[in-house]
Amino acid sequence: MSGSASTTPALEMRALVAGYEPDLPIVRGVNLSVAPGELLVLLGPNGAGKSTLVKAIAGVVPIHSGSVTLAGRDITHVPAHRKIAQGLAFVPQTENIFATLSIHENLQLAAAVLPKQLRADRIKALYERFPDLATAPSRLAGALSGGQRQMLAVARALIVDPPVVILDEPSAGLSPKIVSEVFEMLQQINAAGVTVILVEQNVKAALKIASRAVILVEGQIRHEGAAASLLDDPIVAKLYLGTGHAQNHSVGAEQP
């Protein structure tokens, strides 16, 4: 057994190599330890491999070598649906809800990974946590606004009451006001004790809510540090966050 709960990372990657094709690694040797209760943001330029890394952790992109542990337990090759059941929730960037089903049906489907006797109680708890979803549970998910969809996607991920949630660009395509709401929701989830790992292009807003930031470049970690220190580091921003290169990655580009 590993050490006590306070010293065991919530999630840990060791020498992780992953990618879509066996001979074409995209994630190239990532070592990263995430402490319980952290809100970690994963940044980096387009094509750096951020999405690939979180998909590999979630079990939807093949891991070539290295390991992933969840609270000290090796989950490297555990299939995606069992990772969820074991407490690793993943909110993909797209197709994270069923648009043609109602809010309630979306939650019911997510709850299918739980033992039958727990499902109704967990859905009830989520409606209490997300009262907006409770106001019209029969509403089609496809008819929701971007922010509400993201809320539903996050609610679906929280159905197993996971200790760790990973989100791939939850702010994509949302207006600045809705981005603030989504980030506030993530802060609340984190304040309730959930470890949150977030891939983001909305650099400035993400650094404001994160405790720590990791910058991935060409599939490797190039820089990591306290989120607040990165906010004030123009060199890091210029070198690693693509300022002046890709507008949607520019520090502060999305902020009014």
Ligand X SMILES: Nc1ncnc2c1ncn2[C@@H]1O[C@H](COP(=O)(O)OP(=O)(O)OP(=O)(O)O)[C@@H](O)[C@H]1O
Looking at beta carbons only, is 54 or 186 nearer to ligand X?
54
Looking at beta carbons only, is 53 or 107 nearer to ligand X?
53
Between 103-111 and 116-129, two packed helices, what is the crossing angle to 10 degrees? Answer: 140
Distances (CA, A) of 185 to 21, 26, 77, 113, 215: 36, 31, 31, 24, 23
Other C-beta atoms closer than 10 Å to the C-beta of 70 total: 23
Query: Cα 77 from chain centroid?
Result: 19
Looking at beta carbons only, is 30 or 152 nearer to ligand X?
30
Backbone angles phi, psi at 128, to 5 degrees: -70, -35
Looking at beta carbons only, is 26 or 58 nearer to ligand X?
26
- Please state the closest distance from residue 215 (CB atom) to ligand X, in A: 11
Tokens encoding 246: 């890709």
Q: Which residue is listed with tokens 């210029």?
A: 238
- Please state the closest distance from residue 27 (CB atom) to ligand X, in A: 8
Looking at beta carbons only, is 26 or 111 nearer to ligand X?
26
Distance from C-alpha of 149 to C-alpha of 88, rounded to nearest angstrom: 20
- Please state the closest distance from residue 58 (CB atom) to ligand X, in A: 13
Distance from C-alpha of 192 to C-alpha of 152, rounded to nearest angstrom: 18
Distance from C-alpha of 145 to C-alpha of 151, rounded to nearest angstrom: 10
- Please state the closest distance from residue 149 (CB atom) to ligand X, in A: 19
Looking at beta carbons only, is 44 or 87 nearer to ligand X?
44
- Please state the closest distance from residue 50 (CB atom) to ligand X, in A: 4
Non-local (6+) Cβ contacts of 118 within 8 A are: 111
Q: Which residues bind ligand X (CB under 6 A)?
A: 20, 26, 44, 46-52, 201
- Please state the closest distance from residue 46 (CB atom) to ligand X, in A: 4
Alpha helices in 130-162 (DSSP H): 131-134, 146-157
Looking at beta carbons only, is 63 or 123 nearer to ligand X?
63
- Please state the closest distance from residue 25 (CB atom) to ligand X, in A: 10
